[in-house]
Homo-oligomer: A and B are copies of this chain.
Amino acid sequence: MRDEFRADLHLVSQLLVDMAEATRSAMRQATRALLTADRQAAETVIERDAEIDELYRHVEERVCDLLARQSPVASDLRAMITALHVAADLERMGDLADHVAKTALRRHPSPAVPAELRPIFTDMATIADRMAEKIASVLAKPDADIAAELDRDDDAMDDLHRSLFGVLLGADWPYGVETAIDATLLGRFYERFADHAVNAGEHVVYLITGETAASPN
């Protein structure tokens, strides 16, 4: 019974790693769509969001099946609930990549991001990618130190988010309201992506160390 539980738990972890990798890949492609007006990349992200949703449903089904068959308690039960949280965060990260791709597509063939903002979005995307990579990594091989780095990554993302508003509100912003609205929403998508990565990381840390995660954000 115990070995069977371990095997089932391993399968759930593997599904979560698959979700994290799919989410990472989606945000990478969405960023490419955004920064190079790559229509096909945008369409791929949008099409493949359903696959991430499907993985989410698989995690839920497997967890429910496991709860029903094995009635885990204590840390095993905690692992199951944590898996549901992490899956929910990853599913939402996939949605945010989808939103970035849709914004790119809406402006295509024009670029949604003007030259002045490209360095900021390039940096935001780099951090988002690093965070998704860390989630995949700690899910595959638990490491509380790596998970804790996500907080620092999130601080860097918040700094970039503030710089973005600095540019938008600068006296010499030449692009008018429509471009500012796009940039505001895009900034929020990357920032929320990072928030969900932090949440997912906190859940994994909780699983590894037993220490309570900070309040949700």
Contact = CB atoms under 8 A, between A and B. Distances in A.
Contacts of A217: 95
A47 interface: no
Interface string A93-111: 0010000000000000000
Nearest to A177: B180
A67 B77 contact: yes
A118 to B, nearest CB: 18
Interface string A68-79: 100101100110
DSSP majority for the A interface?
helix
A212 B52 CA distance: 17
A4 interface: no
Contact of A188 (B68, B91, B173, B185): B185
A60 interface: yes
Contacts of A91: 216
A56 interface: yes
Contact of A184 (B84, B92, B169, B184): B184
Contacts of A145: none
Nearest to A50: B215
A148 interface: no
Contact of A215 (B53, B77, B165, B178): B53
Given A64-B78, A71-B71, A95-B217, 20 more contacts: A50-B215, A53-B216, A60-B81, A63-B81, A64-B77, A64-B81, A68-B77, A81-B84, A84-B84, A169-B177, A169-B178, A169-B181, A173-B177, A176-B177, A177-B177, A177-B180, A180-B181, A181-B181, A181-B184, A184-B185
